[in-house]
Amino acid sequence: MPLSMVCCSHSPLLLGALEPADREARDGFFNSIKSAGAWLRERDPELLVVFGPDHFTGLFYDMMPAFCIGAAATGSRDWDLKPGELNVPEQIALDCHEALREAGFDPAISYRLTVDHGTTIPLYELVGALDAYPVLPIVVNCVAVTRPSFKRIREFGASVGRFLSGLDRRIVVIGSGGLSHDPPTPRLDMDSPEVVARLVDRHVATKKDFDARQARVVAAARAMVEGGGPCLPPSEEWDRRFLDRLIRQDLEAFDAYTDEMMDREAGFGGHEVRTWVAAAAAMQAAGPFEMTLDYYRIIPEWITGMAIVRGAPTE
């Protein structure tokens, strides 16, 4: 059965930490995400599949996979989001893992997966709750040094799409992340031993931990808006080029994207567009489809190129 798709940016700053000076841009995003959610619900999905990143909330360097499929998952309380259980169909998760193994991939599988705002924001914004629909969460490593290449992402997404198309269910695939942005994400080669230890040692973040992380991001956003700080501003040129290739379904063009190029041109957070490539590749493998760009603007206070893209099968 053909798939449908929504790809969207998920800046946690949209939750109210910083109000954009451009109210029209802010309202445009919220109106567009509301429309995308209504469109998604009209398709009466029997399963949502979310390709999302993790921000050292559920996955750490004690054992960092390139891909992780959740057979059971809980949303975290980062950015003061309401935590809760996702309605994960266990057997579908296991069958997906087996199909990917047969296709030559070796994703991790978790019965205690914690997903953060990279997965929970699109669920809240598009369908209103973490458990409104059955959800298969697939975490794509976009922040750690084990992140897969864009070619591997494309091939992985296509294999997921072939599996999903055989389920004979109404399915909406969600790609969550990006576009260009450069948040103050901690890194092994740039931070103190104390910070690095928190990237390695698996732990449950406390409210104090989350508050400190959020304050650091808000401070970086304020500095960037004022023309300073360490963060690379989002790039409309890069975003437009990426979106053009995506919507034309020239997915193999992304095979040439390197980590060095992404850091230099799209910012460290720009690596999250891997989730969009995976979602589009899943759609492409399932059958002919077309994509439309519903919204795009840079919103400096959210430090991100914000976009919403929908994909639907062609008749």
pLDDT digits 0-9 by tens, 51-61: 999 998 899 88
In which domain, by residue range, is 151 found? 3-313
pTM, to two decimals: 0.94
Q: Which residues contact 221 (CB under 8 A, 6 or more apart)?
A: 13, 17, 18, 231, 300, 301, 302, 303
Average pLDDT, the chain: 93
Query: Active-site residue 117, yes or no?
Result: yes
What would the pLDDT profile of 172-189 be if each residue is shown by its tens digit? 999 999 899 998 777 777
Catalytic residue among 55, 97, 117, 271: 117
Query: Active-site residue 181, yes or no?
Result: yes
In angstroms, the CA 129 to CA 96 distance is 24
pLDDT at res. 146? 85
Contact in structure between 278 and 311 (CB atoms under 8 Å): no
Query: Which of 28, 9, 22, 315 minimizes the C-alpha distance to 181?
Result: 9
Catalytic residue among 97, 181, 203, 271: 181
Number of separate domains in the chain: 1
pLDDT at res. 247? 97
* Residue 133 confidence (pLDDT) above 90: yes
Residue 99 is part of a domain; what is its CATH number? 3.40.830.10
* Residue 66 confidence (pLDDT) above 80: yes
**Given its phi and psi angles, is residue 79 left (phi above 0), alpha (psi -120 to 50 degrees) or beta?**
left
pLDDT at res. 191? 62
Least confident window among 45-59, 172-186, 201-215, 228-242 = 201-215
* Residue 203 confidence (pLDDT) above 80: no
In angstroms, the CA 83 to CA 58 distance is 13
Query: Which of 8, 169, 9, 6 minimizes the C-alpha distance to 96?
Result: 169
pLDDT at res. 4? 97
190: confidence class by pLDDT, cuts 50, 70, 90: low
Triad 178, 14, 7: Cα angle to 5°: 35
